[in-house]
Protein backbone atom coordinates (compact mmCIF):
# COMPACT_ATOMS: atom_id res chain seq x y z
CA UNK A 1 0.00 0.00 0.00
CA UNK A 2 1.36 3.39 -1.04
CA UNK A 3 2.59 5.82 1.57
CA UNK A 4 0.66 9.06 1.62
CA UNK A 5 0.26 11.71 4.24
CA UNK A 6 -2.87 10.50 5.94
CA UNK A 7 -4.66 12.01 8.90
CA UNK A 8 -6.87 9.49 10.68
CA UNK A 9 -10.48 10.66 10.40
CA UNK A 10 -12.08 12.10 13.52
CA UNK A 11 -15.51 11.00 12.29
CA UNK A 12 -16.51 8.05 10.12
CA UNK A 13 -19.94 7.82 8.51
CA UNK A 14 -21.37 4.34 8.04
CA UNK A 15 -24.26 3.74 5.69
CA UNK A 16 -25.97 0.52 6.74
CA UNK A 17 -25.72 -0.89 10.27
CA UNK A 18 -26.29 -4.56 9.53
CA UNK A 19 -23.93 -7.29 10.63
CA UNK A 20 -20.92 -5.74 8.83
CA UNK A 21 -21.67 -2.02 9.22
CA UNK A 22 -22.77 -2.57 12.81
CA UNK A 23 -19.57 -4.47 13.61
CA UNK A 24 -17.45 -1.67 12.12
CA UNK A 25 -19.42 0.92 14.11
CA UNK A 26 -18.97 -0.93 17.41
CA UNK A 27 -15.28 -1.55 16.81
CA UNK A 28 -14.52 2.07 15.84
CA UNK A 29 -16.47 3.35 18.83
CA UNK A 30 -14.43 1.06 21.12
CA UNK A 31 -11.31 2.66 19.66
CA UNK A 32 -12.53 6.19 20.36
CA UNK A 33 -13.43 7.13 16.77
CA UNK A 34 -16.62 9.15 16.29
CA UNK A 35 -19.16 7.21 14.27
CA UNK A 36 -22.35 8.46 12.66
CA UNK A 37 -24.51 5.73 11.22
CA UNK A 38 -27.55 5.63 9.00
CA UNK A 39 -29.71 2.52 8.64
CA UNK A 40 -33.24 1.16 8.46
CA UNK A 41 -35.53 1.42 11.47
CA UNK A 42 -34.76 -1.86 13.17
CA UNK A 43 -30.95 -1.66 12.93
CA UNK A 44 -31.09 2.03 13.90
CA UNK A 45 -32.99 1.22 17.09
CA UNK A 46 -30.54 -1.53 18.07
CA UNK A 47 -27.50 0.60 17.20
CA UNK A 48 -28.77 3.47 19.34
CA UNK A 49 -29.26 1.13 22.27
CA UNK A 50 -25.62 0.10 21.80
CA UNK A 51 -24.58 3.76 21.99
CA UNK A 52 -24.01 4.37 18.27
CA UNK A 53 -24.94 7.85 17.07
CA UNK A 54 -27.29 7.73 14.09
CA UNK A 55 -28.55 10.35 11.64
CA UNK A 56 -32.00 10.77 10.12
CA UNK A 57 -30.70 10.65 6.56
CA UNK A 58 -27.68 9.29 4.75
CA UNK A 59 -26.79 12.86 3.70
CA UNK A 60 -26.80 14.03 7.33
CA UNK A 61 -24.60 11.08 8.36
CA UNK A 62 -22.06 11.76 5.63
CA UNK A 63 -21.77 15.54 6.15
CA UNK A 64 -18.83 16.31 8.38
CA UNK A 65 -17.33 12.80 8.11
CA UNK A 66 -13.78 12.39 6.83
CA UNK A 67 -14.37 8.82 5.73
CA UNK A 68 -17.52 7.10 4.50
CA UNK A 69 -18.14 3.37 4.56
CA UNK A 70 -21.10 1.97 2.65
CA UNK A 71 -22.21 -1.31 4.19
CA UNK A 72 -25.62 -1.46 2.55
CA UNK A 73 -27.17 -4.36 0.62
CA UNK A 74 -26.01 -4.72 -2.99
CA UNK A 75 -29.41 -3.69 -4.34
CA UNK A 76 -29.19 -0.19 -2.84
CA UNK A 77 -25.44 0.40 -3.14
CA UNK A 78 -25.68 2.37 -6.41
CA UNK A 79 -28.40 4.67 -5.09
CA UNK A 80 -26.53 5.24 -1.82
CA UNK A 81 -23.32 5.91 -3.76
CA UNK A 82 -24.95 8.62 -5.87
CA UNK A 83 -26.25 10.37 -2.75
CA UNK A 84 -22.90 10.15 -0.97
CA UNK A 85 -20.88 11.29 -4.00
CA UNK A 86 -23.04 14.42 -4.29
CA UNK A 87 -22.53 15.19 -0.60
CA UNK A 88 -18.85 14.70 0.20
CA UNK A 89 -15.32 14.72 -1.14
CA UNK A 90 -14.11 12.34 1.60
CA UNK A 91 -12.92 8.86 0.59
CA UNK A 92 -15.86 6.48 0.15
CA UNK A 93 -15.38 2.73 0.55
CA UNK A 94 -17.86 -0.11 0.27
CA UNK A 95 -17.82 -3.65 1.66
CA UNK A 96 -20.01 -5.46 -0.86
CA UNK A 97 -19.26 -9.12 -1.55
CA UNK A 98 -18.91 -8.43 -5.28
CA UNK A 99 -16.93 -5.58 -6.81
CA UNK A 100 -17.40 -5.48 -10.59
CA UNK A 101 -19.24 -2.20 -11.27
CA UNK A 102 -21.59 -3.84 -13.76
CA UNK A 103 -22.46 -6.57 -11.23
CA UNK A 104 -23.36 -3.86 -8.73
CA UNK A 105 -25.73 -2.25 -11.23
CA UNK A 106 -23.61 0.79 -12.10
CA UNK A 107 -23.74 2.13 -15.64
CA UNK A 108 -20.47 2.52 -17.58
CA UNK A 109 -18.77 5.79 -16.63
CA UNK A 110 -20.63 6.24 -13.37
CA UNK A 111 -18.66 6.97 -10.23
CA UNK A 112 -18.28 3.85 -8.07
CA UNK A 113 -16.96 3.76 -4.49
CA UNK A 114 -13.91 1.60 -3.84
CA UNK A 115 -14.53 -1.99 -2.79
CA UNK A 116 -12.81 -3.16 0.40
CA UNK A 117 -14.34 -6.55 1.05
CA UNK A 118 -13.56 -8.19 4.39
CA UNK A 119 -13.47 -11.97 4.24
CA UNK A 120 -15.21 -12.15 7.54
CA UNK A 121 -18.84 -12.16 8.41
CA UNK A 122 -21.41 -14.26 10.02
CA UNK A 123 -24.42 -16.35 9.14
CA UNK A 124 -26.27 -13.94 11.41
CA UNK A 125 -27.62 -10.73 9.96
CA UNK A 126 -28.61 -7.25 11.05
CA UNK A 127 -27.14 -5.19 13.88
CA UNK A 128 -28.22 -7.97 16.27
CA UNK A 129 -25.40 -10.09 14.80
CA UNK A 130 -22.78 -7.33 14.98
CA UNK A 131 -19.55 -8.05 16.81
CA UNK A 132 -16.68 -5.57 17.27
CA UNK A 133 -14.21 -8.49 17.10
CA UNK A 134 -15.46 -9.61 13.69
CA UNK A 135 -12.50 -8.31 11.70
CA UNK A 136 -9.72 -9.51 14.00
CA UNK A 137 -7.36 -11.42 11.77
CA UNK A 138 -9.53 -10.96 8.67
CA UNK A 139 -8.20 -10.52 5.15
CA UNK A 140 -9.43 -7.50 3.20
CA UNK A 141 -9.51 -7.34 -0.58
CA UNK A 142 -9.09 -3.70 -1.71
CA UNK A 143 -9.54 -2.75 -5.36
CA UNK A 144 -6.32 -1.88 -7.19
CA UNK A 145 -8.03 1.13 -8.82
CA UNK A 146 -8.18 2.90 -5.43
CA UNK A 147 -6.38 6.26 -5.30
CA UNK A 148 -3.52 6.74 -2.87
CA UNK A 149 -5.88 8.55 -0.48
CA UNK A 150 -8.47 5.78 -0.70
CA UNK A 151 -5.83 3.11 -0.13
CA UNK A 152 -4.52 4.97 2.89
CA UNK A 153 -8.06 5.31 4.25
CA UNK A 154 -8.75 1.60 3.70
CA UNK A 155 -5.43 0.70 5.29
CA UNK A 156 -6.19 2.83 8.35
CA UNK A 157 -9.77 1.58 8.69
CA UNK A 158 -9.09 -2.14 8.45
CA UNK A 159 -5.89 -2.25 10.44
CA UNK A 160 -7.66 -0.22 13.14
CA UNK A 161 -10.31 -2.96 13.17
CA UNK A 162 -7.64 -5.64 13.57
CA UNK A 163 -7.48 -7.05 10.04
CA UNK A 164 -4.47 -9.31 9.46
CA UNK A 165 -3.86 -8.55 5.81
CA UNK A 166 -4.90 -6.08 3.16
CA UNK A 167 -4.60 -7.36 -0.39
CA UNK A 168 -4.84 -5.30 -3.56
CA UNK A 169 -6.78 -7.08 -6.26
CA UNK A 170 -8.86 -5.87 -9.18
CA UNK A 171 -12.62 -6.37 -9.17
CA UNK A 172 -12.55 -9.22 -11.71
CA UNK A 173 -9.98 -11.21 -9.74
CA UNK A 174 -11.84 -10.49 -6.51
CA UNK A 175 -15.18 -11.65 -7.85
CA UNK A 176 -13.70 -14.83 -9.29
CA UNK A 177 -11.98 -15.56 -5.99
CA UNK A 178 -15.07 -15.07 -3.83
CA UNK A 179 -17.12 -17.29 -6.15
CA UNK A 180 -14.88 -20.15 -5.01
CA UNK A 181 -13.91 -19.38 -1.46
CA UNK A 182 -17.07 -17.68 -0.21
CA UNK A 183 -20.09 -18.14 -2.49
CA UNK A 184 -19.48 -21.83 -3.23
CA UNK A 185 -19.14 -22.83 0.47
CA UNK A 186 -22.33 -20.87 1.17
CA UNK A 187 -24.26 -22.66 -1.57
CA UNK A 188 -22.79 -26.07 -0.73
CA UNK A 189 -23.93 -25.64 2.84
CA UNK A 190 -27.46 -24.79 1.71
CA UNK A 191 -27.51 -27.74 -0.71
CA UNK A 192 -26.28 -30.08 1.99
CA UNK A 193 -28.89 -28.89 4.47
CA UNK A 194 -31.61 -29.18 1.81
CA UNK A 195 -30.53 -32.74 0.99
CA UNK A 196 -30.55 -33.88 4.61
CA UNK A 197 -33.85 -32.07 5.24
CA UNK A 198 -35.30 -34.03 2.32
CA UNK A 199 -34.33 -37.33 3.94
CA UNK A 200 -36.57 -36.66 6.92
CA UNK A 201 -33.65 -36.78 9.37
CA UNK A 202 -33.75 -34.08 12.03
CA UNK A 203 -31.15 -31.33 12.38
CA UNK A 204 -31.10 -31.84 16.14
CA UNK A 205 -29.30 -35.14 15.50
CA UNK A 206 -26.32 -33.40 13.84
CA UNK A 207 -22.97 -33.88 15.55
CA UNK A 208 -20.45 -31.04 15.74
CA UNK A 209 -19.01 -31.81 12.29
CA UNK A 210 -22.41 -31.80 10.61
CA UNK A 211 -23.23 -28.56 12.41
CA UNK A 212 -20.08 -26.94 11.04
CA UNK A 213 -20.74 -28.16 7.51
CA UNK A 214 -24.33 -26.83 7.48
CA UNK A 215 -23.87 -23.67 9.57
CA UNK A 216 -23.93 -21.31 6.58
CA UNK A 217 -27.34 -22.66 5.61
CA UNK A 218 -28.66 -20.41 8.39
CA UNK A 219 -27.78 -17.33 6.30
CA UNK A 220 -30.46 -15.04 4.92
CA UNK A 221 -31.70 -15.67 1.40
CA UNK A 222 -32.38 -12.07 0.36
CA UNK A 223 -28.79 -10.92 0.93
CA UNK A 224 -27.30 -13.97 -0.74
CA UNK A 225 -29.69 -13.88 -3.69
CA UNK A 226 -28.22 -10.49 -4.60
CA UNK A 227 -24.63 -11.57 -4.14
CA UNK A 228 -24.97 -14.81 -6.05
CA UNK A 229 -27.08 -13.16 -8.75
CA UNK A 230 -24.43 -10.47 -9.21
CA UNK A 231 -21.73 -13.13 -9.60
CA UNK A 232 -23.77 -15.78 -11.43
CA UNK A 233 -21.25 -16.72 -14.14
CA UNK A 234 -18.35 -17.46 -11.80
CA UNK A 235 -20.68 -19.10 -9.28
CA UNK A 236 -22.12 -21.42 -11.93
CA UNK A 237 -18.61 -22.58 -12.84
CA UNK A 238 -17.82 -23.27 -9.20
CA UNK A 239 -21.09 -25.19 -8.74
CA UNK A 240 -20.33 -27.32 -11.79
CA UNK A 241 -16.94 -28.20 -10.33
CA UNK A 242 -18.53 -29.20 -7.03
CA UNK A 243 -21.10 -31.37 -8.78
CA UNK A 244 -18.28 -33.10 -10.68
CA UNK A 245 -16.37 -33.78 -7.45
CA UNK A 246 -19.47 -35.21 -5.75
CA UNK A 247 -20.22 -37.41 -8.75
CA UNK A 248 -16.66 -38.80 -8.87
CA UNK A 249 -16.84 -39.47 -5.18
CA UNK A 250 -20.11 -41.37 -5.44
CA UNK A 251 -18.83 -43.41 -8.39
CA UNK A 252 -15.66 -44.27 -6.46
CA UNK A 253 -17.67 -45.37 -3.40
CA UNK A 254 -20.22 -47.40 -5.36
CA UNK A 255 -17.49 -48.94 -7.52
CA UNK A 256 -15.21 -49.60 -4.54
CA UNK A 257 -12.41 -47.60 -6.22
CA UNK A 258 -10.33 -46.94 -3.14
CA UNK A 259 -7.50 -45.36 -5.09
CA UNK A 260 -9.66 -42.76 -6.83
CA UNK A 261 -11.39 -41.84 -3.58
CA UNK A 262 -8.10 -41.65 -1.72
CA UNK A 263 -6.55 -39.32 -4.30
CA UNK A 264 -9.52 -36.97 -4.16
CA UNK A 265 -9.60 -37.06 -0.37
CA UNK A 266 -5.89 -36.45 0.11
CA UNK A 267 -5.98 -33.56 -2.37
CA UNK A 268 -8.87 -31.99 -0.41
CA UNK A 269 -7.26 -32.68 2.93
CA UNK A 270 -3.86 -31.23 2.00
CA UNK A 271 -5.55 -28.12 0.65
CA UNK A 272 -7.67 -27.68 3.79
CA UNK A 273 -4.73 -28.21 6.10
CA UNK A 274 -2.88 -25.40 4.34
CA UNK A 275 -5.56 -23.00 5.67
CA UNK A 276 -3.55 -22.55 8.86
CA UNK A 277 -4.95 -20.48 11.70
CA UNK A 278 -7.52 -21.98 14.02
CA UNK A 279 -8.56 -24.47 11.29
Comparing CB distances to a second copy, the nearer of 160 and 257 is: 257
Site for a second copy in 155-194 (CB under 8 A): 177, 180-182, 184-194
Of residues 227 through 266, those in contact with a second copy by CB under 8 A are 228-229, 232, 235-236, 238-247, 249-250, 253-254, 256, 258, 261-262, 264-266
- Nearest approach in angstroms of CB 221 to a second copy is 4
Q: Count residues near a second copy (CB under 8 A).
A: 89
109 Cα distance to chain centroid = 25
Instruction: Please choose, out of 13-21, 52-60, 101-109, 209-217, the segment that lies near a second copy by the rule CB under 8 A.
Output: 209-217
The answer to whether residues 57 and 38 touch, using CB atoms and an 8 Å cutoff, is yes
Provide the minimum distance between the beta carbon of 14 and a second copy in the complex, in angstroms, as a whole number.
Answer: 21
36/184 with CB nearer a second copy:
184
Give yes or no for a contact between 27 and 132, defined as CB atoms under 8 angstroms apart: yes
| Cα–Cα dist 142/155, whole Å | 9
Least Cβ distance, residue 128 to a second copy (angstroms): 14
Dihedral (Cα; 241, 244, 248, 249), 10-degree rounding: 60
| Bridge partners (DSSP) listed for residue 12 | 35, 67
Exposed/middle/buried for 257, CB within 10 Å: 0-12, 13-18, 19+? middle
Binding span for a second copy by CB under 8 A among 55-63, 108-116, 147-155, 200-208: 200-208
Alpha-carbon distance of 154 to 230, in angstroms, equals: 24
Q: What are 94's strand-pairing partners? A: 70, 115
Site for a second copy in 85-124 (CB under 8 A): 119-123
What whole-number distance in Å separates Cα of residue 170 and Cα of residue 178?
Answer: 12
- What binding mask, one character per residue, do residues 210-229 give for a second copy by CB under 8 A, x or -? xxxxxxxxxxxx--xx--xx
CA pair distance 163, 140, nearest whole angstrom: 7
Say how far apart CA 17 and CA 39 lie, in whole Å: 5
CA angle 20, 118, 29 (to 5 degrees): 45
Site residues for a second copy, 130-149, by CB under 8 A, read 138-139
Closest CB to a second copy among 109 and 198? 198
Cβ closer to a second copy: 32 or 256?
A: 256
Site for a second copy in 25-84 (CB under 8 A): none
DSSP state of 201: -
Output 82 or 241, the one with its CB closest to a second copy: 241
C-beta closer to a second copy: residue 76 or 213? 213
For a second copy, the closer of residues 41 and 202 by Cβ is: 202
Shortest reach from residue 78's CB to a second copy, in Å: 19
Q: Within 13 A of 163's CA, how many CA atoms are on the CB side?
A: 23
Q: Is 128 in the site for a second copy (CB under 8 A)?
A: no
Amino acid sequence: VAEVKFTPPATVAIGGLGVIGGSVALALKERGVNVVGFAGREDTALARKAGILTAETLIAAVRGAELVLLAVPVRVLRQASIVVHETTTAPVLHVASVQRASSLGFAPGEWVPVGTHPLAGSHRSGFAGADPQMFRGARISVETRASAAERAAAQWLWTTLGAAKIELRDADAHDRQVAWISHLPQLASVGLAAAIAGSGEKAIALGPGGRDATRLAGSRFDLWREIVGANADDVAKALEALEAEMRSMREAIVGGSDEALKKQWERARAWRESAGGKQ
